[in-house]
């Protein structure tokens, strides 16, 4: 039995501890917002946070989550109030949308660590996430916009 927290709630799952966290989230916990893209940590579609750090859940055995806090796209904010969600909607970033959970989760860690990322910071943080529809220019703009929105929200 592996016990951990997902989006603040305690969970326990009875699966082979080598099972990747991705499949536990998607199949055991029915949190399908986290996506399968490559299974080899090459595309970033499966990005979630483990104690605040971005990880590729497709290669992380669920045993790695034991006792830890996992945040998925569903836990970022279901009511679309996170600055990244607001910026994504304002700039209509997604096309097919499949990679966007992973994009947003990678961007969330970037913004948590860097209040005003430069283009180079964005390249660095986001180049592990593939978008086949080619929304990169909009993702870049939306991250800058989300940084602005977040700074407006912070007490001066």
Partner 1 sequence: MSAPATLLRREFIKAGAALGGGLLVSLYLPPVDADGNVAEGADEQQFALNAFVRIGTDESVVVISSHSEMGQGIYTSLPMLLNEELEADWARISVEAAPVDKVYNHPIYGVQMTGGSTTSPAEWEHYRKMGALARTMLVQAAAKQWNVDPASCHVEKGVVIHAATQRRATYGSLASAAAQLPPPANVPLKPVSAFTQIGKPTRRLDTPSKTNGSAQFGLDVILPGMLTVVVARPPVFGGKAAKIDSTETLKISGVKAVEEIPSGVAVIATGFWPAKLGRDKLVIEWDPGPNAGLTSEEMLREFSETSKQPGKVAKIVGDPATALASAAKTITAEYDVPYLAHAMMEPLNCVVDLRADSCEIWTGTQFETVDRANAAHVAGLDPEKVQIHTTLLGGGFGRRANPASDFVVEAVHVAKVAKAPVKVVWTREDDIRGGWYRPMWHDRFAAGLDASGNPVAWTHTIVGQSIMMGTPFAGFAIKEGVDSTSVEGAADILYGIPNLQVDLHSPTIGVPVQWWRSVGHSHTGFSVEAFLDEVAYAGGKDPYELRRKLLEKQPRMLAVLDLAAKKANWGEKLPAGVGRGIATHFSFDSYVAQVVEASVGKGGEVRVHRVVCAVDCGLVINPDTVKAQMEGGIIYGLTAALKTEITLKDGRVEQGNFNDYPMLRMYESPEIEVYIVPSTESPTGVGEPGVPPVAPALANAIFAVTGKRMRRLPIRASSLA
The site for partner 1 (CB under 8 A) is made up of: 15-16, 19-20, 23, 26-28, 30-40, 42-43, 45, 72-74, 76-78, 80, 84-85, 88-89, 92-101, 104, 122-124, 126-140
DSSP one-letter string for 114-146:
-SS--HHHHHHHHTTS--TT--HHHHHHHHHHH
Tell me the closest approach of the beta carbon of residue 140 to partner 1, in angstroms: 7
Tell me the closest approach of the beta carbon of residue 115 to partner 1, in angstroms: 20
> Which residue(s) pair with 5 in the sheet?
10, 69
Q: Name which of 4 and 31 has its Cβ closer to partner 1.
A: 31
Q: Name which of 54 and 155 has its Cβ closer to partner 1.
A: 54
Spatial neighbors of 51 by CB under 8 A, at least 6 apart, are: 68, 69
155: which 2 tokens? 């007490």
Instruction: List the alpha helices (DSSP H) in 27-135.
Output: 73-76, 83-90, 100-113, 119-126
Q: Name which of 9 and 156 has its Cβ closer to partner 1.
A: 9
Q: Name which of 73 and 155 has its Cβ closer to partner 1.
A: 73
Tell me the closest approach of the beta carbon of residue 148 to partner 1, in angstroms: 17
> Which residue(s) pair with 56 in the sheet?
47
Tell me the closest approach of the beta carbon of residue 48 to partner 1, in angstroms: 11
């Amino acid at each position: 039995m592996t016990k951990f927290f997902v989006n603040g709630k305690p969970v326990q799952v009875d699966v082979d501890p080598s099972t990747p966290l991705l499949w536990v989230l998607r199949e055991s916990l029915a949190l399908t917002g986290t996506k399968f893209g490559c299974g080899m940590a090459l595309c970033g579609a499966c990005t979630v946070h483990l104690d605040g750090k971005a990880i590729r859940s497709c290669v992380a055995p669920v045993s790695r989550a034991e006792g830890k806090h996992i945040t998925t796209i569903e836990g970022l904010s279901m009511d679309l109030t996170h600055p990244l969600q607001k910026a994504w909607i304002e700039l209509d970033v997604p096309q097919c949308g499949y990679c966007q959970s992973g994009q947003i989760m990678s961007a969330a860690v970037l913004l948590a660590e860097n209040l005003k990322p430069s283009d180079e910071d964005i390249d660095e943080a986001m180049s592990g996430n593939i978008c086949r529809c080619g929304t990169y220019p909009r993702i870049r703009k939306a991250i800058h916009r989300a940084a602005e929105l977040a700074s407006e929200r912070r007490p001066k």
